[in-house]
Amino acid sequence: MGEQFDISVIISTYNRCELLPEALKSVLAQRADGMRYEVVIVDNNSKDRTRQVVESFIANGYDNLRYVFEGKQGISHGRNAGVMSARAPVVAFTDDDVHVSPDWVASIKRAFDEHPEADGVGGKVLAQWEREPPSWLTRECWSPLALLDYGDEPFYVNAKNQRCLITANAAFRREMIERVGMFSPRFQHIGVCSVDDHEFLLRFWEAGGQALYDPKIVVIADVQAERMEKLYHRKWHTAHGRQLAKMGLEDVEKSHRGRLFDVPAHLYMQAVRDAAQWFGYSLRGRRDHAFLREAQLRSFAGFFRQRRHDYLAEGQPRGGTVRELASFVRTLASRNGRRETPKESG
């Protein structure tokens, strides 16, 4: 692989030819300060005019722009195809509905140059709202919108500080991607939710990777009106719960009180608390707080359905569902009893 470029920018796109031109304009109009960068557009099996849009830009003299076709459907396949085609030692990712700042590429290069110990960098993903957001759509509800703002102070994310960066605005040294491995198709979209970038970061941290959050690296993401509807957020949280069930995160899987249908007991207890708080906030007319608890409940529901499906698919529990429930209740009762029994004095 020749290193004629300093940075390769990867955008995977699917059937968004109407949004793609604005994203392309922003990433091709960089104040690069003499550095060399390429832009790789991965057409992830689009049925619209995506190819024609990219080729029209190339025909207008953008010789650092390349078109790559990836027929396997899914954002992970698209990003992996982009990485395989990249020719620079640093690979940066953004999306087809994002406008990068004029100094975005230069800021990524500066961050890597100033921090040779960093294996990756990322920054803010701020919103460009199509219309005024509703009152319930507070910062705590930003996850389904893939927005990110950790403030104005830089810090490292690593195994000891696992705060996520998202691929709308992130870059990694190519050697680290090769060490960690590609994006996993197993964790790409379920419905409207994808966690393949989160799963990649888990492997990145496990391999000892360290990334820098740099607030000067900024992109602006379009937030379409339909993504500000509660229906969209409900679907996202349900799908996110299903994704978490597949990921097996350590802090989620901890279980000191047993499991029911392979769902840890503490998740049931948290769901009860969320339901009680949802009811209380609803009675008091606190709609924003109530919806946040509803979102948590929908995530739990997705997690439960996925785990129960997988659990039963491996074979009906011995004695059936009733015995499974009875065993779980006995486990809870015995654990609680042991905890409440006072120690005898010596």
Stretch among 77-86, 88-97, 245-254 having the lowest mean pLDDT: 245-254
Look at residues 33, 51, 35 and name the one whose alpha carbon lies nearest to residue 88.
35
pLDDT at residue 158, as a whole number: 96
Cα-based distances in Å from 185 to 78, 80, 190, 199, 302: 10, 10, 11, 10, 19
**Tokens, residue 286:** 């606190």
pLDDT at residue 175, as a whole number: 96
Question: At residue 332, does pLDDT exceed 90?
Answer: no
195/325 Cα distance (integer angstroms)? 31
Residue 19 CA, chain-centre distance (Å), reads: 21
Identify whether the C-beta of residue 224 lies closer than 8 Å to the C-beta of residue 130. yes
167/70 Cα distance (integer angstroms)? 18
Identify whether the C-beta of residue 95 lies closer than 8 Å to the C-beta of residue 22. no
pLDDT at residue 2, as a whole number: 46
Look at residues 98, 115, 129, 127 and name the one whose alpha carbon lies nearest to residue 9.
98
| Confidence category of residue 214, pLDDT binned at 50, 70, 90 | very high
Average of pLDDT values for 312-326? 68
Question: At residue 345, does pLDDT exceed 50?
Answer: no
DSSP per position, 97-114: TEEE-TTHHHHHHHHHHH
**Mean pLDDT over each residue of the chain, to the nearest integer:** 90
**Tokens, residue 239:** 């799908």
Question: At residue 335, does pLDDT exceed 60?
Answer: no
Give the list of residues 6+ apart from residue 343 with CB closer than 8 angstroms, or none. none
Question: At residue 343, does pLDDT exceed 50?
Answer: no
Q: Which amino acid is at 44?
A: N
142-147 CB contacts, 8 Å cutoff, 24+ apart: 143/236, 143/240, 144/192, 144/193, 144/227, 144/232, 144/233, 144/236, 144/237, 144/240, 145/221, 145/223, 145/227, 146/95, 146/221, 147/221, 147/223
Taking the alpha carbons at both ends of the chain, their separation in whole angstroms is 72
Question: At residue 344, does pLDDT exceed 90?
Answer: no
Phi and psi for 3 in degrees, rounded to 5? -115, 55
pLDDT per residue as tens digits for the range 172-189: 999 999 999 999 988 776
Question: At residue 337, does pLDDT exceed 90?
Answer: no
| Confidence category of residue 340, pLDDT binned at 50, 70, 90 | very low
Identify whether the C-beta of residue 241 lies closer than 8 Å to the C-beta of residue 300. yes
Look at residues 267, 272, 238, 262 and name the one whose alpha carbon lies nearest to residue 311.
262
pLDDT at residue 286, as a whole number: 92
Identify whether the C-beta of residue 88 lies closer than 8 Å to the C-beta of residue 173. no
Stretch among 200-209, 254-263, 266-275, 303-312 having the lowest mean pLDDT: 254-263
pLDDT per residue as tens digits for the range 108-163: 999 999 999 999 999 999 999 999 999 899 888 899 999 999 999 999 999 999 99
134/137 Cα distance (integer angstroms)? 6
Identify whether the C-beta of residue 83 lies closer than 8 Å to the C-beta of residue 197. no
